[in-house]
Amino acid sequence: MKKILLGLLIMGLANPIFSQKPEQLSEVTVYATNYKYLTNVSSEEVASIPVKELEEMVANYDLKSSDFYQDEYDEYVISFYIPEGKILAAYDKDGKLLRTAEKFENVNLPRVVKESIALRFPGWTVTKDMYLVTYFDKSGAEKKYKLKLANGNKTIRVKMNEKGEYL
């Protein structure tokens, strides 16, 4: 009797496995809408972890699921803030990032910028820095650093690009 019950149990469990028919699923394409922005604003050296995190938030922002999205507007301007800086981003009605204006203070300067300052201004130290990024979908990103240097009681202000070139 035990063998019969055990046999029925095994056949009862095995039968549903064979009854499933494979179903062809439709093809799904996944792509990042704002990948172009991230590739333009990223650099070899990370300016700062909060900067990178905020830029990723801007790239991954889902406009269509936001509370204020309405299909009738062609452009939306969204502000993103953290204590170290802010990003003002413009999206089209499909959620594609059109342009940004970014401003961050007291970030980690790239090695190229630090070396350029040390060569041209030996003995000077950076007391304040500002990292500015402007991104346009058509032309890419432009990155600048505004620096305040001090040497004793003397101070000067300089502007540089991401390659360490003075502007």
17-26 confidence digits (pLDDT tens): 555 566 776 7
Percent of the chain at pLDDT > 70 equals 78
Domain assignment present for residue 2? The answer is no
Report d(CA 164, CA 158) in Å as an integer: 11
Domain assignment present for residue 133? The answer is yes
Cα first-last separation, the chain: 92
Identify the bridge partners of residue 149 per DSSP, sorted by sequence position.
126, 156
Domain assignment present for residue 67? The answer is yes
Percent of the chain at pLDDT > 90 equals 27
Average pLDDT over residues 85-91: 91
Domain assignment present for residue 23? The answer is no
Q: How many domains does the chain have?
A: 1
Domain assignment present for residue 40? The answer is yes
Domain assignment present for residue 123? The answer is yes
Higher pLDDT, 25 or 158: 158
Domain range for 131:
33-161
Domain assignment present for residue 5? The answer is no
The pTM of the full predicted model, rounded to 2 decimals, is: 0.72
Tell me what pLDDT residue 30 has. 55
Contact between 135 and 40 (Cβ < 8 Å): yes
Rounded to the nearest 10 degrees, how much is the dihedral formed by the CA atoms of 101, 107, 112, 116? Answer: 100
29-51 confidence digits (pLDDT tens): 555 667 777 777 776 666 678 88
Average pLDDT over residues 108-120: 90
Domain assignment present for residue 13? The answer is no
- Does 158 score more than 80 pLDDT? yes
CB atoms within 10 A of CB 74: 8
Q: How far is CA 57 from CA 25, 32, 34, 49, 93, in A?
A: 32, 13, 11, 12, 18
